[in-house]
A = this chain, B = another copy of it.
Amino acid sequence: MISRAESAAATRRALLDAAAGLLDSGGPDAVTLREVGARAGVTRGAPYRHFPDKDSLLTVVAAEALDRLADQVQAVCAEPQASPADKLHRALSALMTVGRRQPHLYRLMFASPAGDPAAVHAAIQAADRAMDAFLAVVGDLVGAQHTRQFAALLLTSAHGITDMEVSGHLSADKWHITAEELVSTLVSMIDRQARSG
């Protein structure tokens, strides 16, 4: 780790990790470029050598998280001994787990990507990859004819369930139902629908 390129790559990685850590622990307001730089071992101006502005840095953080999610869903899809219904359940669980463990990151992943066009493009591409992996999982379960329709419904609904749970708008007191039960109900309904129609 002596060459200039290696050092720069290490700094860039440290900046992204620091930003992700601050986002997790303190929310978007806690992500300040000064603190990001400090945690990465550099000073306030250094991040601008790697990202055009703060929005771009956060968008790249979101893109990396979407890439990890895509990897997880792809891994689920590749499991040989799991049934299609099982795969779907695990893929949706991966999404909800991000929301529960890293709520601020989750909101960033599903926000409109902002900042540098390159960063925005990376985020869109990563989201596309995650959605393609999810499409494959759903395609295993239902006929190819309605794959897109059901996949879109499953994904948007799972996102809505997760998002409202994360924000506290899905309180158990009021609804007497958990996010898991909602997802199960949805999946079984779609399963029935796919079989009958």
Contacts and interface: CB of A to CB of B under 8 A. Distances in A.
A128 to B, nearest CB: 7
Interface string A109-125: 01110000000000000
Interface in A116-142: 127-128, 131
B152 A182 contact: yes
A170 to B, nearest CB: 7
- This chain: how many copies in the complex? 2
A175 B161 CA distance: 20
A181 to B, nearest CB: 8
Nearest to A132: B174
Interface residues of A, number: 38
Interface in A87-125: 107, 110-112
A100 B158 CA distance: 20
Interface string A175-188: 11100011001100
A148 interface: yes
A115 to B, nearest CB: 12
A69 to B, nearest CB: 13
**5 A-B pairs with least C-beta separation:** A160-B160, A157-B157, A159-B160, A156-B160, A156-B161
15 contacts: A112-B167, A112-B168, A148-B177, A149-B177, A149-B181, A151-B175, A153-B182, A155-B160, A156-B160, A156-B161, A156-B170, A157-B157, A160-B161, A160-B163, A192-B193
Interface of A: 107, 110-112, 127-128, 131, 148-149, 151-153, 155-161, 163-164, 166-170, 174-177, 181-182, 185-186, 189-190, 192-193
